[in-house]
Structure 1
């Protein structure tokens, strides 16, 4: 009778014998198995990817080395996708037994990957995952496990020792060509260095990558810079998207990739020096970020992805903590988006000099005293959109503007010359001063018009500080639902800043400047609300080449603004958003169309409910809007029809 210990020893001996036998059989037949594997891959390429895959020769070298010669992938009726003369690699045998492929060494000589798009299509379409177009809304995804698995698979394919010689990546997108040539790339003893020759249609450069790379311990510290003089230019996107971008250097440091329970943490830092970007939707000038640094902590959970608040962003002299969160709950398939930004107390002047050059041109040269801090909180629940949270909190400490840049906000308090800019062209000069006979002080503008414009454009103008949080919330909700910027939240303060100090260009730069200038104007009490409204009425466009309410009142009704009736005021208020399209509101007999009459009645009733009108004022709603000024010539008048003419003749004959 064998003892328990003897049984264990026997079991271990049997397992070891079987393992040795399996390994022995594998080594005996491994070349045959390799050929079968290649044949299987070739058949799969033919049936699933409609491509020809071939390897001229393949064999094992040593214990775990593999040598491949003349590898070729050619999609049917398309350009060659991959061609490599020689590949030698070493695979971890023990990892292979567990189902993982982990490369130990990799040597590649003379090869290329070629991505082509032409009138026949793309030569890589068959290799794109077919399930990417499928709806995955109702599929449960464990973000932590998926990200960790993908990272492990990717890092296992990065060898500990690597030597690539004369390998290139070619791109041809409808004639837009880019080529990246790696003459020599070496990774030895965790030190990586390579030079990349970049050839595009409009420039040629040599890039350098140098630093530390340890794929097995999931750590790296690489620096990417230009071996030549000048910035690194990013190819292809300038021709494809009209986006020009470049930088002096990029540093990418990954300190830690760790699975902690059900959460994946990726920690590290990245930095950017002298990043330059130019695009018509961003700014009319080059936007330059001299120095940026991002100390990041990415967190992947079972049902969420986040940038943790322990992360910090440094932009020149400005430092802030971001928090970004996305969650897709399994129970109700809900989606939650959150954003928090915290700028701790900092000097106002440090903030001004930290703004990217070219993005805030009106702030260049501005000087300020004092300190400020800022907190932004945003939360959106897809299942409860009306509970959206948008909270912006700005705290100042002895904040004072001591010198303005190009946009001198004090200009609003004195006489100045205004020139509208339309399609980049400056319009005629309009004097905002008593020397202009059409200039109308606020007190001489009909109360009906003042109240009608405020009701339709900005009801809380006299109580808010430039922005209306609730309007922003509704704008965000609308834009998220439509998946585009279909609604704004512009106040009279914002319109005033845009008209007086900025252009009408639709760029990110102009919008950001508008927001900051409005905040400075409103929260430093640079100009009174009454003066702001007075300037607004005297500069905005009211029709084709019609600026200011003095000109508008004469243009439409041949009278002074103080004599405008309720209906006339309601009409003028209605054309503020689109003043050049006023003629569409009238029919062929110069009568206001029913749709616009109803709209004006609605505004009048709203003014009545808010106590801005008396009951007797609304009796004026029955009177028609009669255009008697030069504006009448812009309305397409139609001759009276024959029925009307017949009726006139009958009336005259019988003298009714």
Structure 2
């Protein structure tokens, strides 16, 4: 048999492959417009069957070696207004990538078009695109999420669709949400030689601005450094959010940098930074006035694994001069676990105070402090083992001392001062917290029964904690996560005192954050004693309609001084602290405590015995029933389903008559 020469065999094979490749190229160029039209027809059919929409193309053809030109493109839902319309699209495709099975755009020109999102009484013109596409196969549990590869694949496809040479002109995005209109007109966007420049006009019924984006963009090497700012030299105001959600927001500039996007092994990494200047936000749930952050920066290092997503501990955040080292991780490797760690390295206390966002901590404005401090937070929650929650918060201080208080003068707790409760935004009558008030009851004149009943009901460890109860925080977090809402708080007497004396009752993020910081300062700087804090608390809290403090409460319900209160009367007063204006619903129409109220109060007494704050024989003769003899008795006759508006002038008149003079 004749032997085949290896060199000749290789040459023949090469010729055959070359011939096939030439035939493929010839076939592609001969039939490429046919293929293009078939692809368009397939898209038209898909939009019709899956999205109930009409997709049309005026003309589409290949130009040159790899160019495609499309004109008069439109997409219109059959039951709504036109969603998209573009006059001209010119693009080129990387052929070598196409042969490898990838679509990668080389150039893109697009002119004169718009996308409009409309929602009105007829519905949404984008409704059909919000639902899952027909035929979509849901993943099975055995497949696993593989966050690394799926995220990389998605970003890889998106970056391939960003051309290296781009020219966009006169393209608009219009939003009309039941008359709330926003129009973003992209006048021009150019990407040439990795330099991007964009101009956009923004208009609403009350806003007209010009925005610019400039910087470096290299989609093939997965890098970018872009700056977004207002060419009118003012703050950019974010449109629509104010009209839709009552949220006002704006900033001077935003810078976004992407340094690295890389898949190595089974881990995908994204590195870069983002910064914002003069950021402003205003919303009734955040604060009463504008909250402003002068500067903020976030150096991020995201890591995606097969079964976890992580913000690496090498990341860094900076808020003005406050530096934070964060670590965040979500893992489903064995159980579903959420982790959060945050560290504030050693810094000057005054720099921290000066760096707090303007408008968010108004009661700290003007505060002066010496010394340094550092802070660490460690949180971990296992969804399958909620009782194993970790919540450790620690602050280390060195030479920390408050030299001057701001608006919240914590030192006034050691003196007589005037307190005015706020009810539904209205200031109530002034209460003198001190001996000039005949109703004021010093700590030693408050019966132990009442002190211990209030502590047992509200905060059993008050005399031992430093403002916060770690275990209560843990239980609160678990409950709120499980119910997916703020269903449980972890308030202490210290927190209630600060909220009443120094803050308002507004439910804002600002007030809650100020409450936490003020409580920490109060409890950890020996500003006043625990006994004094408890004394002030018992003399200012509300105990009924226009009834403030234990002195008024004892007279209002029982016509006696606090020292004369029995155990049952003390427990009753402690039990109505959470809902003082609805005390009457604890009674039946005979003026007796209902069964549920008696059961509750007896339970409190049992806890007091178990804690050793009263003896078992103290409960002898204490049946759980009480005899209301003061002005409060008039309210026991009310049997309507809802509590009516309470006329507090009658109550105020009672105390004026009883003690004389203004209260």
Change (3 A) 1:131 1:507: farther
Q: Is the 8 A contact 1:144 1:301 kept in 2?
A: yes
| Corresponding residue of 1:246 | 250
| Corresponding residue of 2:616 | 615
The one of 233, 245, 260 aligned to 1:256: 260
User: What is the rounded CA distance, in whole Å, between the counterparts of 1:525 and 1:136 in structure 2?
Assistant: 58
Where in structure 2 are the equivalents of 1:222-237 lying within 5 Å? 222-237=226-241
Q: Is the 8 A contact 2:602 2:624 kept in 1?
A: no
| Corresponding residue of 1:79 | 81
User: What is the rounded CA distance, in whole Å, between the counterparts of 2:438 and 2:133 in structure 1?
Assistant: 69
| Corresponding residue of 1:564 | 565
Where in structure 2 are the equivalents of 1:14-163 lying within 5 Å? 14-130=16-132, 138=141, 140-163=144-167
| Corresponding residue of 1:478 | 479
Shift of 1:121: 1.6
| Corresponding residue of 1:300 | 304
Change (3 A) 1:131 1:534: farther
Shift of 1:9: 3.4
Q: Is the 8 A contact 2:50 2:133 kept in 1?
A: no
Q: Is the 8 A contact 1:590 1:637 kept in 2?
A: no
Q: Is the 8 A contact 1:587 1:637 kept in 2?
A: no
Shift of 1:623: 5.7
Q: Is the 8 A contact 2:287 2:508 kept in 1?
A: yes
User: What is the rounded CA distance, in whole Å, between the counterparts of 1:237 and 1:11 in structure 2?
Assistant: 65
| Corresponding residue of 1:380 | 381
Change (3 A) 1:304 1:349: same
| Corresponding residue of 1:346 | 347
User: What is the rounded CA distance, in whole Å, between the counterparts of 2:503 and 2:288 in structure 1?
Assistant: 12
Aligned to 2:637, the other structure's residue is in SS state coil
User: What is the rounded CA distance, in whole Å, between the counterparts of 2:40 and 2:623 in structure 1?
Assistant: 87
Aligned to 2:620, the other structure's residue is in SS state helix
Identify the range of structure 1 (362-371 vs 33-42) with the bigger mean alpha-carbon deviation: 33-42
User: What is the rounded CA distance, in whole Å, between the counterparts of 1:134 and 1:427 in structure 2?
Assistant: 62
User: What is the rounded CA distance, in whole Å, between the counterparts of 1:100 and 1:199 in structure 2?
Assistant: 38
TM-score by length of 1: 0.95
Per-residue CA distance 1:464-486 (angstroms, 9 max, x = gap): 00000000000001101110001
Q: How many residues align?
A: 635
Per-residue CA distance 1:83-107 (angstroms, 9 max, x = gap): 1111000111111122211110000
| Corresponding residue of 1:321 | 325
Per-residue CA distance 1:452-498 (angstroms, 9 max, x = gap): 00011000001100000000000001101110001000000000000
| Corresponding residue of 1:646 | none
User: What is the rounded CA distance, in whole Å, between the counterparts of 2:280 and 2:223 in structure 1?
Assistant: 29
Identify the range of structure 1 (227-236 vs 473-482) with the bigger mean alpha-carbon deviation: 227-236
User: What is the rounded CA distance, in whole Å, between the counterparts of 1:320 and 1:100 in structure 2?
Assistant: 41
Q: Is the 8 A contact 1:412 1:532 kept in 2?
A: yes
Identify the range of structure 1 (341-350 vs 616-625) with the bigger mean alpha-carbon deviation: 616-625
| Corresponding residue of 2:178 | 174
1:194 maps onto 2:198 in alignment: yes
1:184 maps onto 2:188 in alignment: yes
User: What is the rounded CA distance, in whole Å, between the counterparts of 1:500 and 1:40 in structure 2?
Assistant: 70
Where in structure 2 are the equivalents of 1:175-574 lying within 5 Å? 175-329=179-333, 334-574=335-575
User: What is the rounded CA distance, in whole Å, between the counterparts of 1:195 and 1:379 in structure 2?
Assistant: 45
Shift of 1:6: 3.4
User: What is the rounded CA distance, in whole Å, between the counterparts of 1:38 and 1:107 in structure 2?
Assistant: 19
Q: Is the 8 A contact 2:375 2:394 kept in 1?
A: yes
Change (3 A) 1:55 1:590: same
Change (3 A) 1:136 1:618: farther
Aligned to 1:130, the other structure's residue is in SS state coil
User: What is the rounded CA distance, in whole Å, between the counterparts of 1:223 and 1:390 in structure 2?
Assistant: 38
Structure 2 gaps of 5+ residues are: 640-663
Q: RMSD across aligned C-alpha pairs, in angstroms?
A: 1.5
User: What is the rounded CA distance, in whole Å, between the counterparts of 2:260 and 2:144 in structure 1?
Assistant: 27
User: What is the rounded CA distance, in whole Å, between the counterparts of 2:220 and 2:534 in structure 1?
Assistant: 66
TM-score by length of 2: 0.94
The one of 3, 6, 16 aligned to 2:5: 3
User: What is the rounded CA distance, in whole Å, between the counterparts of 1:166 and 1:244 in structure 2?
Assistant: 28
User: What is the rounded CA distance, in whole Å, between the counterparts of 2:98 and 2:203 in structure 1?
Assistant: 39
Change (3 A) 1:137 1:251: farther
